[in-house]
Structure 1
């Protein structure tokens, strides 16, 4: 159903473009310059091409609304925000990290969200990394 409406929509769009381009340019914006309308009116008479353009425009708007309705009906109950937390499959190259081989921070990669243990300010607690604290070894501050 959606494909049929989409094809009709595209055909209407092309026909609307052609009908607008085929019309004769009046050159009088906002009705300036008179026209061949009635005795006292400044509006030109409606040509058959203008009527076709109006019909195509109304059809285009109707198919736009129909496509919008179909899209919202098919995705009822789901949101783009609901799809943000979906896990992506690991890349085949064996690399770790996010999409495209780009390494993401753990918070974005679905890893552990706990912060690393703080390092004492006085340099105590062993700087060789043997203290069992997670994180890289930090040398004591220079005096």
Structure 2
């Protein structure tokens, strides 16, 4: 069911983008200015594309809310923060005990073990 709603949601999004791009520009943002729709009122007559835009937008919002409800129903009921204190899952096969290696294995070798006491220097630009 979620996949069906998701496909409808994506189709509505693409159709909404197409319908908005097909509409003519009225020269002003947020419905300000443009056209002589009326001398006294700033509202212009509703076109077919305008009505389709409202219909597609309402469908897009409805499918968005539906997908949000589906996601809430399928959630684990715990936040990620709650799961931080949980014990680690069982070790994978091949791992000895699942613990981290000692810190000494993670550090680079000390200068005394390489045989030379001089630190490495970057090359000079000549």
Structure 2 length as normaliser, TM-score? 0.63
Contact 1:34 1:42 in 2 (8 A): no
For structure 2, the 5+ residue unaligned runs are 104-126
User: 4+ residue stretches of structure 1 with deviation over 6 A?
Assistant: none
Q: CA deviation at 1:8?
A: 0.8
Match of 1:128 in 2: none
CA deviations on 1:80-110 (whole Å, 9 max, x unpaired) are 3343325245466748666xxxx698xxxxx
**Whose Rg is larger?**
1
Q: Give structure 1 stretches of 5+ with no counterpart.
A: 106-143
Structure 1: how far apart are the matches of 2:41 and 2:52? 23
TM-aligned CA deviation for residue 35 of structure 1: 2.1
Structure 1 residue 31: Cα displacement: 4.4
2:83 is matched with 83
Contact 2:16 2:57 in 1 (8 A): yes
Q: TM-score, normalised by structure 1?
A: 0.56
Match of 2:113 in 1: none
Larger proportion of helix:
2
Q: Compare relative contact order (CA 8 Å, sep 6+) and give the higher one, 1 or 2.
A: 2
SS across alignment from 2:36:
coil
CA RMSD in angstroms, aligned pairs only: 2.9
How is 1:110-121 mapped onto 2 (pairs within 5 angstroms)? none
Number of corresponding residues: 101
SS in 2 for 1:16: helix
1:6 aligns with 2:6: yes
Query: Do the aligned partners of 2:2 and 2:70 also contact (CA within 8 Å) in 1?
Result: yes
